[in-house]
Amino acid sequence: MHIDARPFAYEFDLATTALVLIDMQRDFIEPGGFGESLGNDVSLLEAIVPATQRVLQAWRGAGGLVVHTREAHRPDLSDCPPAKRNRGAPTLRIGDAGPMGRILVAGEPGNQIIEALAPVAGEIVIDKPGKGAFYATGLHELLQQRRITHLLFGGVTTEVCVQTSLREANDRGYDGLLLEDCTESYFPAFKAATLEMVRAQGGIVGWTAPSSALLSALRGQEG
Ligand code: TIU
């Protein structure tokens, strides 16, 4: 299969490709969570939910592997470095009690993936203590066991957890593509810059493409 992508066509096989949705959690997308505690207008992020839902449904329909990540810390915060917890002047720090439970803590209501994109049985769910999906998780090993070589990324936020994960994937030898309308930032200019820098220099970090290009490829596969 191939996707009309930038800087050039992205070739992939369904059997060796995973869809990776980064941190589509209430903590980032809904008011009262981590994202808002940092001073962000979280309403910007929900715009990508319909396109991401279409991609998720199509990818599931094609039988592709799905990976969801959550930025999540243990309740005792033993995996949250003080440097991360103490950075800046948020209204609520990681581990503090907020309207959706403790901020960025595993198992709390705010830490769950939004209902529209909730994982289903058989999909991989990775709790990660850092911004990247590979740091201090077993993701690379899980993907290697399944012979995955290509990763299609969506999620939030573009220049923080998504870009970090894409770069980590690139350094581990994966071909990564960022779905342009399935990722969003609290800063539109940062999203635009990320898309540009990923595909610059002949795809120095990877590819970008609109989700419609992936959906076309999957429709072609159905014949
Ligand atoms: N603050 C921000 O833009 N993002 C994060 O802290 N984590 C993710 O991107 N998931």
What's the maximum distance between 2 C-alpha atoms anywhere in the chain?
A: 54
pLDDT at 143 over 60: yes
**pTM as predicted:** 0.98
Mean pLDDT of 177-193: 98
Dig out the tokens for 221 from the structure.
């596969």
Confidence band for 17, pLDDT divided at 50, 70 and 90: very high
* Known catalytic residue at 80: no
Q: Give me the catalytic one of 27, 80, 128, 182.
A: 128
Chain segment 48-58, per-residue pLDDT in tens = 999 999 999 99
Say what the pLDDT of residue 221 is: 75
Average model confidence (pLDDT) across the chain? 97
Which residues line the pocket of ligand 1, CB cutoff 6 A?
A: 23, 28, 38, 71, 131, 156-157, 160-161, 186
Say what the pLDDT of residue 98 is: 97
Confidence band for 144, pLDDT divided at 50, 70 and 90: very high
- Tell me which of 117, 157, 178, 190 to substitute to probe ligand 1's pocket, judged by most ligand atoms within 8 Å of the beta carbon: 157
Cα(170) to ligand 1 centroid in Å equals 20
Closest-CA residue to 182 (of 203, 205, 212, 139): 212
Chain segment 93-138, per-residue pLDDT in tens = 999 999 999 999 999 999 999 999 999 999 999 999 999 999 999 9
Which residue in this structure is represented by tokens 């990660």? 128
Q: Give me the catalytic one of 27, 80, 131, 161.
A: 161
Which residue in this structure is represented by tokens 């070589």? 149
Reduced to 3 states, what is the DSSP secondary structure of residue 21? strand
* Known catalytic residue at 191: no
* Known catalytic residue at 182: no
Say what the pLDDT of residue 212 is: 98
- Tell me which of 21, 71, 93 to substitute to probe ligand 1's pocket, judged by most ligand atoms within 8 Å of the beta carbon: 71
pLDDT above 70 as % of the chain: 99
Which residue is closest in CA terms to ligand 1's atom 8?
161
Distance, CA of 102 to CA of 161 (rounded, Å):
20
Say what the pLDDT of residue 107 is: 98
Say what the pLDDT of residue 222 is: 61
Chain segment 59-102, per-residue pLDDT in tens = 999 999 999 999 999 999 999 999 999 999 999 999 999 999 99
Distance, CA of 72 to CA of 83 (rounded, Å):
16
